[in-house]
Structure 1
Amino acid sequence: MNPKFTLLKAALAAGSAFSFAGHDPYMAYNFVVEIGGVLIGGFSEVSGLSSEIDLESYEEGGLNDYVHKFPKHTTCPNLILSRGLVRIDLFYLWYQATSQGLVQQLSGTIFLLNSQQIPVMWWVFKKAYPVKWEGPQFNASSEEIAIERIELVHQGLSKLQRFA
């Protein structure tokens, strides 16, 4: 049997056993981000943690009940990281260098933490670089924190989990 199918079967069995344990869901605000080996804190939002399999349709002659659909390749949207604007402007410098042709691809990890601040799940993205930077929106009647956003294109996303 294919080792990947064996692993999938084992994961499904383990997930079935864990589903009866009554664990509370993890809180979405409890996360940290690492890029290029450096833990970068203070993020208020991360979006783009998704993946989709593109399909190819095939209509078989003489069979009009349905259309066959076959997986082609997997695509991932860009990651968008938002954080409070700070004095050390690494994101803008990274974006500016990229816009001038000095592309530095960095891999990173987004860690979901439990209530004891221990990583329980993480998403690893490979060879990312910025394609968009967005500065804060100013409003004199607001008391909100100034937020900057950076959008990263990457070459794949994988999800890992701690089972202890």
Structure 2
Amino acid sequence: MIDDVTTAVSVRYVVQLDQSNLGEFTGCEGLGVEVVIESREEGGNNSFVWQFPTRLKYPNIKLSRPVYQGSSDMVLNWILSITGESKRSTGTIVAKNARGTDIATWSINDVIPVRWTGPGFSPDQPKVLTETLEIAHHGFLVTGATI
């Protein structure tokens, strides 16, 4: 039997960047890393192509949530606080289940905002208003290292 305390059912993501709490998000896409591979063909070797790992590439992370009172203010205050500075934040994204128990934590390095998109308003298609925050980063922090 699977204990729902440790599984990721009805997950929300709490985002903290340095001293800025950006609140809870219901969607999180882009947590990952890609190893960039360089291929080299060796003269006289027709059976395979050499593949060498060269660097790590991190996709942007997109966080989304329904709009609530003050939700946009948290994000916009953070963006405005670092605009014009070369300051990059260190942050955490904590996945929590419906009971509020932490499931997983990702620590990210050199976080900068890429884009904030507020809700679109359309009277002919009523739906939940959502906002999206897209952030870039330069790797994950793990105990004793940055990857």
- In the alignment of these two chains, the number of paired residues is 139
1:139 aligns with 2:127: no
Q: Which has the larger radius of gyration?
A: 1
Kindly state the Cα deviation for residue 116 of structure 1 after the two structures are TM-superposed. 4.2
Partner of 1:95: 79
Structure 2 counterpart of 1:91, one-letter code = V
Q: Cα deviation per residue 1:76-128 (whole Å; 9 max; x = unaligned)?
A: 01111212333351322333455x52344222111223454322321111121
Normalization by structure 2: what TM-score?
A: 0.76
Alpha-carbon RMSD: 2.7
* Secondary structure class of the residue paired with 2:100: coil
Q: Please identify which structure carries the higher strand content.
A: 2
Answer yes or no: is the 8 Å Cα contact 1:111–1:119 preserved in 2.
yes
Answer yes or no: is the 8 Å Cα contact 2:22–2:75 preserved in 1.
no
Normalization by structure 1: what TM-score?
A: 0.69
Cα distance in 1 for partners of 2:133, 2:104 equals 23
Q: Please identify which structure carries the higher helix content.
A: 1
Kindly state the Cα deviation for residue 75 of structure 1 after the two structures are TM-superposed. 0.5
Structure 2 counterpart of 1:131, one-letter code = V
Identify if the C-alpha distance between structure 1 residues 116 and 93 changes in structure 2 by more than 3 Å, giving closer, same or farther.
closer
Identify if the C-alpha distance between structure 1 residues 42 and 122 changes in structure 2 by more than 3 Å, giving closer, same or farther.
closer
Tell me: higher relative CO, structure 1 or 2? Use CA pairs within 8 A at least 6 residues apart.
2
Cα distance in 2 for partners of 1:159, 1:45 equals 23
**5+ long unaligned stretches in structure 1:** 1-20
Cα distance in 1 for partners of 2:95, 2:142 equals 11
Identify if the C-alpha distance between structure 1 residues 47 and 159 changes in structure 2 by more than 3 Å, giving closer, same or farther.
farther
**5+ long unaligned stretches in structure 2:** none
Cα distance in 1 for partners of 2:123, 2:137 equals 36
* Secondary structure class of the residue paired with 1:91: helix
Report % sequence identity. Answer: 29
Answer yes or no: is the 8 Å Cα contact 1:109–1:124 preserved in 2.
yes
* Secondary structure class of the residue paired with 1:41: strand
1:52 aligns with 2:34: yes
